[in-house]
Copies of this chain bind each other. A is one copy, B any other.
């Protein structure tokens, strides 16, 4: 009998959101009349911007005719989209990128999950704790994690960088040599950010310690404050040490349409086992072209449209909508004297569970007593224990209703 990749058995429990879905489904089965409000999974709920749907219709019409039909496109994305990304997301902020540094994909989840493949088996990875589970789980599958300790709720070979109230959710530098550092800002799940000076510490550290930063910037569009970097490449030297992941999922409501991109500057180098320098972008390009066949043409045309004047205005309206929700949740919870973080430059509110409840206990309480689905902080790592994530992606009506229901709880 063929043998499995044993590392898969080292994965802990279900993927967080599957577990939430399971508990939610069971609750609905037991309480068919409950009006559940989901502020759990970070999924958008507003319609796609009109500029996007218009472009998608036009693209479908093209594919309906022989003369305009397009089959396989470049795996890295069509020039029209790559150029729009470079122009609007980077050049407009003074960042120069070449087109062979941009890789369009069908989702940041895929990219942040797959990026580890191009690095060595013994690479030591560092993650923030709490953390988006995909960074950890994909390294577990690859065999880099070491054994899991039930006692610490951590894998022994992964370097965890705790982010908690004590350090205002800003991690300390690793206390041992690491090769790959996953940073996510604006942060999922805490909703917190770093200033330019704070991020510069990480870039300098990576340079000085031969590490590569994997910078997940999926929530960049939600940044409101001036001193918060929109891209890690605003920091001097970052183009030598950082790979940046961006997604249209939250920026433009693309969670069901699927488009993201990854920037791998050609200055980012790693070494082979003989100590020779290798351009990381070349490896990623090889991986991308060998295991991926490009994003739907219709999706790419929709993505291009977010960079039009009309599209930009519509996206700004979307972001405003969700950020107003964030303010409603933030203010509502604060008025209950709950301790609340995030929600200023990110669509996530990170709250300290009241009365020392653990995260899943608070999940169950919120589900059963207020019929609200949120995300238990501990699902993102041990440092998330005692915290809970709510998202601003609901409708205004549901967001207000949810806050009202929470207000009525005995907390």
Q: Contacts A2-B180, A258-B294, A292-B110 given: A50-B63 contact, CB under 8 Å?
A: no
How far apart sit A258 and B44, CA to CA, in the bound complex (Å)? Answer: 23
- Find the B residue at minimum CB distance from A112: B291
Q: Contacts A109-B291, A113-B291, A293-B258 given: A118-B4 contact, CB under 8 Å?
A: yes
Q: Are B271 and A212 in contact (CB-based, < 8 A)? A: no
Within 8 A of B (CB), among A242-286: 253, 255-258, 269-273, 277-278, 280, 283, 286
How far apart sit A269 and B4, CA to CA, in the bound complex (Å)? Answer: 9
Stretch with Cβ within 8 A of B (4 or more), from A70-78, A231-239, A335-343: A70-78
Q: Are B290 and A134 in contact (CB-based, < 8 A)? A: yes
Within 8 A of B (CB), among A340-366: none
Which one, B72, B113, B211, contacts A43 given CB within 8 A?
A: B72
Q: Are B110 and A1 in contact (CB-based, < 8 A)? A: no
Across-interface contacts of A4 in B (CB, < 8 A): 118-120, 270-272, 278, 280, 283
Question: How many residues from A make CB contacts under 8 Å with B?
Answer: 85
Which one, B72, B106, B258, B286, contacts A255 given CB within 8 A?
A: B72
Tell me, rounded to whole Å, the shortest Cβ–Cβ distance linking A76 to chain B.
Answer: 11
Q: Does A395 contact B (CB under 8 A)?
A: yes
Q: Are A48 and B63 in contact (CB-based, < 8 A)? A: yes
Beyond known contacts A48-B69, A71-B255, A137-B290: 20 more, CB 8 A cutoff: A2-B211, A4-B118, A4-B119, A4-B280, A6-B120, A6-B273, A43-B72, A46-B66, A47-B69, A53-B60, A56-B298, A72-B256, A110-B292, A138-B290, A255-B293, A257-B296, A257-B298, A258-B293, A296-B296, A298-B298
A residues near B (Cβ < 8 Å) are 1-6, 8-9, 11, 15, 18, 41, 43-48, 50, 53, 56-57, 60-61, 63-66, 69-73, 106-107, 109-110, 113-114, 117-123, 133-134, 137-138, 141, 143, 179-180, 210-212, 253, 255-258, 269-273, 277-278, 280, 283, 286-287, 289-299, 395
